[in-house]
Amino acid sequence: MNSEDHVARNREEWDGWAADYVATGERNWAQDQPSWGVWDVPESELPLLPSELEGRDAIELGCGTAYVSAWLARRGARPVGIDNSEAQLATARRLQGEHGIDFPLIHGNAEQVPFPDASFDIAISEYGASIWCDPYRWIPEAGRLLRPGGELVFLVNSVLAMLCSPDTEEAPVEERLHRPQFDLHRIEWPDDDSVEFHIPHGEMIALLRRCGFEVEELLEVRPPADSTTRYPWITLEWARQWPCEEVWRARKRS
C-alpha cells in the first residue's frame, strides 16, 4: 500500500459504515445542546464551540452526518460541511430537510478543500479529518482556509490511548504500551481496510506552529462517572484513570 491511498480506502470504508452512524446522527441533530466524543460529554463540561458564533464562517472537516454543523448553524454561524463519504452526506442531507436547516455540504477530501485562502473564521473536526486525514496535509489546509485570528478546534483519540491499543479496533485499550510513540503517524488496523492518523504531542505542537497557529489549549477528556459508550475500543474503568480523548484548540496568528 502506498502513502497516498488513505483517502480512497477511507471513502470505501465509510460508505460501508454510514448505516451504523444514522442513529447517532439523528439523535445529535435532534439535540439542542452539543455533547462530544465517545462518552457524549456535554458542552457545559467540555466546551468545544468557540464563544462567538453569530455571523462567523465555519467549516466542518469530515462532517459525517453534519450534526456539529447543525449545532453551529443554530447558534448563528454559517457552516459548510465537507466529507469524503457520499453515504454519510446522504444522511446529512436528509436530516437537513427534516430539521429545516440548510448549509452547503461538499463531497470531497478535507486535505484539499475547494475554497480560497482565508474563507473561514472557524474550522472544526470531531473525529473527522482530525483522525482520518494525514495531519501533515489537513492541518496546513486548515491553516490556509482560516482567516487571521481564526480558530481551529478538533477532537481525537488521545495519544496515550493509541499507544495502549492492541492491534485491533475491536479490543479495548489496555494498561500497557502496545506500540512505540516515536514515529507514531499512520495506523492500519487488521480488522478492515481503513487508515487512521495519530501523531505525538510534540510533533502536533510543532506542526500547528509551522502552519501559522498558536496552541491555546489541550483538553484531556475525563468522562463523567456514569458514562456509557457504544464503542468497543475503550472502557470506562480505563477512561476514568487516563485521558482516552483529547481536544486541541489553536488560533491562526494575525
| Closest separation in Å from C-beta 150 to ligand SAM | 19
Q: H or E segment at 207?
A: helix 201-210
Is residue 246 at the binding interface for ligand SAM, with CB under 6 A as the rule? Answer: no
Using the minimum distance from each CB to ligand SAM, give the nearer residue, 126 or 151. 126
Of 9 and 181, which has the nearer Cβ to ligand SAM?
A: 9
Tell me how far, at minimum, the Cβ of 254 lies from ligand SAM, in Å.
Answer: 28
Pairing of strands 57-61, 120-126: parallel
Q: Does 7 bind ligand SAM (CB under 6 A)?
A: yes
Using CB under 6 A, which of the segments 93-101, 123-131, 139-147, 170-178 binds ligand SAM? 123-131
Instruction: Tell me the β-bridge partners of 13.
Output: none
Taking the complex as a whole, the smallest distance from the CB of residue 230 to ligand SAM amounts, in Å, to: 11
Q: Which of 34, 62, 79, 143 binds ligand SAM (CB under 6 A)?
A: 62
Is residue 145 within 8 A of residue 117, CB to CB? The reply is: yes
Among residues 53, 56, 79, 84, the one that binds ligand SAM under rule CB under 6 A = 84
Separation between Cα atoms, residue 252 and residue 110, nearest integer Å: 18
Figure out which of the listed residues 40, 57, 83, 121 binds ligand SAM, where binding follows CB under 6 A: 83
Distance from chain centroid for Cα 107: 16
Phi–psi pair at 58, nearest 5 degrees: -130, 145
User: What are the helix and strand counts (H, E) for the chain?
Assistant: 9, 11
All residues at 6 or more sequence positions from 144 whose CB lies less than 8 Å from its CB, including other chains = 117, 118
Query: What's the CA gap between 187 and 167, in Å, rounded?
Result: 9
Does residue 21 touch ligand SAM according to CB under 6 A? yes
Q: Which residues in this chain contact ligand SAM in the complex, by CB under 6 A?
A: 7, 10, 14, 21, 62, 64, 68, 82-85, 88, 109-111, 126-129, 132-133
